[in-house]
Structures are given as structure tokens and as C-alpha cells.
Amino acid sequence: MKNGLGIIIALEGGVMEARFESALPRIHSIVGTKKTGALFEVIERKNDTTIRAIALSGHEGVERGEKVLHVSSSFSVQLGDAMLGRMFDVFGNPIDGKPFKGSLHSIYGSSQSKRMESQKRHTEIVETGIKIFDLLTPLRTGSKIGFFGGAGVGKTVLVAELIHNIALKKLGYSVFAGIGERIREGNDLYYTLDKLGVLGNAALYFGEMDKPPGVRARVGLSAVTACEFLREKNQDVFLFIDNIFRYAMAGMEIGAMLGKVPSELGYQATLDRDLALLEERITADGHKAITSIQAVYVPADDLTDPAVVAIFSHLDASLVLSRAVAEKGIYPAVDVLRSRSLGLDVDMVGKRHFDIASRVKEMFQKYEELSHIIAILGIEELSRDDRIVASRTERLQRFLTQPLFVSEHFNNRKGVYVPLEKTLEGCERILNGEYDTADLRELFMIGALDEVKKNS
């Protein structure tokens, strides 16, 4: 064997073992088969002559005894100034049929010590135009928020809506990482953003569910590397991840393929470390920041799943989407009492915002306590004060629904952007009883409260 040339000695379940006589490839370098062109990432050195690598492409036809070439000393993604408005794979190769030429950047970034030295904490609140989001889980620049929920409760729709609203208000560039999701969803997102006229403000990276776990475990790192590239252009960047749970699942698959001893429920023992590898890259640097919005699939709607719990620990805010709320036709289907944000602090949002949000949560809490009585005996059996609580909570719940731009073609309702001030004003007036006699239907799926005629 020549220098840098190896021979495959084993291949099982997407894990390849290759023997090198000299110049053993470094960890995270890329090797490829000479005959079929299949690509692998070096994960570990088994001994002084043998490496183990995971597949980054289809490896059909790869055989033992086949020669392996040392392709690259690091796993790199291709980035450039013309990346906005485009779709890419994990290597930064375009998948939209258009040419692209850029420079290579390692997806593992610089050393952690350098990143820590340059980090800066921001306190500015980002207005998203989504009422319940801005009210209960204000998003601080440079922070991370998760949309938690099971299948079909609206996580992807909210992600697409935020990409639209951020572009609408020119708050910064958007980078989307599609991890382990359906190919159809990526296609729909691309054409939805194009139709809304905001595609040119975003770069999309995909590692769909049909890709090997090595791709799904790395496409998020490619996307965050793209964010760092754009941030260096002195721009605020928003990183959207759909779905961060699939990132954890890909790590679990890799651990199983490598024969590692799993931890609870089969997750890899390195789950926390794998999540930190991605999450700790989402930071502020100097005057500009990477702000992240992440969809989190909750298996069987179980928020105590080990991967979900591990993801929680990295987030500054969590918006929990409820199947029970969605079944009532309330969208966004937010569970008010289980959603929280570190940004909902009187020093960050101001006393008025904090007080209104606290009163809204208090009202929903009281309504939750009354719900069983209402279900069994009816609202008429409540005391006068409790009837007022129930009435105002139902009006708040309807008012905090909202027609979205990305769902216009589904419900024929024109999307609206609601400024935070209008959200606060509307909630305050409902809490104060000004709309106690308003029909619930008049408050459902509207923007500002100005659209409703107050009854006397």
C-alpha cells in the first residue's frame, strides 16, 4: 500500500474499517473508496494501523479489499457570498440544480477556548410578530428556543413563519438545517419561502431521513458553520433546526453501529456531549449574534424522554405545543402553562410586558383548575368570579390565535404580523374586562384587537 492509501478489511452497517501501512488519517478526516467513490468520516483509530469510519453517502457495492483514498484532512463545508437563496447538502454542494462555488470551512470550527473568549451576552428582544410567542416566550438575541411537540402539532409551520417574519422585518439572515425530516417537507419549505418572496434571505441545508446517520449527525454542524460565516459579515443570523431530536437520534444510531454500550432507552452514552458540540456553537461574537429556533420532536408526547430532557438544558426558552390544544382548533397550539423563557424578565421586557404575561399565565392556571368542574357541571355552576375567569381566559385563548403567512393556502386566511405593542394592548384590554361580551368567534384568528368591534 502507498502513502495515504488503505484497504477495507470490514464493512458492516455503514461502519467501515480500513488498514493503512502509513499516514493514518486524522479523526474527522474524510476518506473515500477508489472504485465506487463512497465517502466516509474517520471516527476512531482502532489501533496503530486501522481506522473506523462512518458512511456519508450510499455505500452499495463497496467490498472488502477495496482501496481507500485519503480525500480531505477535515470534514469541510463549501461556503460563499452567493449561498443565500440556495439549497445545499452536508458538504455545501448545491442540490437545487444551480452552480455554486465557495471556499471550504471545517464544520468543527475553531477551538472552544477562542470561542469562549469572543462570546458576548445580548439583552435585546427580537419581535417576531407572532402574538403568543412574543408575549410568553420573548426571544433574546443570541439565545436558543425550542418548539416542543409530537407529530402534527405545528412545529414546522412555526419555523417557516419565523423565517418569513424575520426576512419581512430585515432582522438578519436565516440558515435552515433540515435534519432527518421528510424529503417532501424540505421541498415544500423551499417553494413556500420562494412564493412568499423571502427565499433570498435564507440558506437551506438538508440531511433528510433517507440519508445515512453520519449525514444527519453532521448537517447541523454544516449549518452552524454557515451561520458563523455570515456572522463574520457583520450580520445577525438566525439558525433554524428542524429537527434537533433527529440529530440526537442520528448520534444514537452511530453509537449502535460502532457497538458502543448505550445508556437509558438506548441513547448513546455521549448524548450530552454530542448536543453540546452543536449547541455551544450558537453564540454571539462581538456585536452580532447567532439566534436559534429549534423544532424538537417529542416521542409519544413524552417530555421526560432522555433526549428531550438533554435538549431542554441547552435552551433559553421553550414553547410547548399541545395536542389537546390543537384538537380544539387553536393555532398556534401552545400550552401556555408549560412554556417558559428566561427572556421573560422584568429587566429585559419591562414591567408592563412582564405584568401582562404574568396575569395571562395566572388566568390560564385558574382556568385549568376550573376545567374539570366546567366539564362535569357546566360553566353556569361556577361562582360569579370564576365565571369571569373562565370567560376572559376563553377570550384570551381565541385572541392569541393568529392566521399565518405560510398557511394562507390551507385556510384562506391572510397572514398577519402583529407588533408586540398591539399584542400587549389586546391582552390588557381583555384582562380588564373590556371584551367580556364580545363573541368568541370575533376574537378567533385575528391580528390586533382593533379588528373587533367592542360590544357595549
The letter for the amino acid at 367 is Y
Which of 64, 98, 182, 414 is an active site residue?
Answer: 182
Question: Would residue 384 be called left, alpha or beta, if left means φ above 0 and alpha means ψ between -120 and 50 degrees?
Answer: alpha
Structure-block grid coordinates of residue 50: 486501522
CA distance 331 to 193: 20
Backbone angles phi, psi at 113, to 5 degrees: -65, -40
Known catalytic residue at 181: yes
Say which residues have a Cβ less than 8 Å from residue 384's Cβ, sequence separation at least 6: none
319 touches 334 (CB < 8 A): yes
Known catalytic residue at 361: no
Known catalytic residue at 155: yes
Which of 41, 66, 161, 181 is an active site residue?
Answer: 181
Which of 52, 140, 155, 281 is an active site residue?
Answer: 155
Q: How far is CA 410 from CA 75, 82, 153, 324, in A?
A: 41, 32, 15, 21
Short-list 79, 63, 89, CA closest to 179: 89
Say which residues have a Cβ less than 8 Å from residue 401's Cβ, sequence separation at least 6: 330, 331, 332, 444, 445, 446
CA distance 97 to 116: 38
Say which residues have a Cβ less than 8 Å from residue 163's Cβ, sequence separation at least 6: 174, 176, 193, 198, 201, 202, 238, 240
Mind telling me the catalytic residues?
155, 181-182
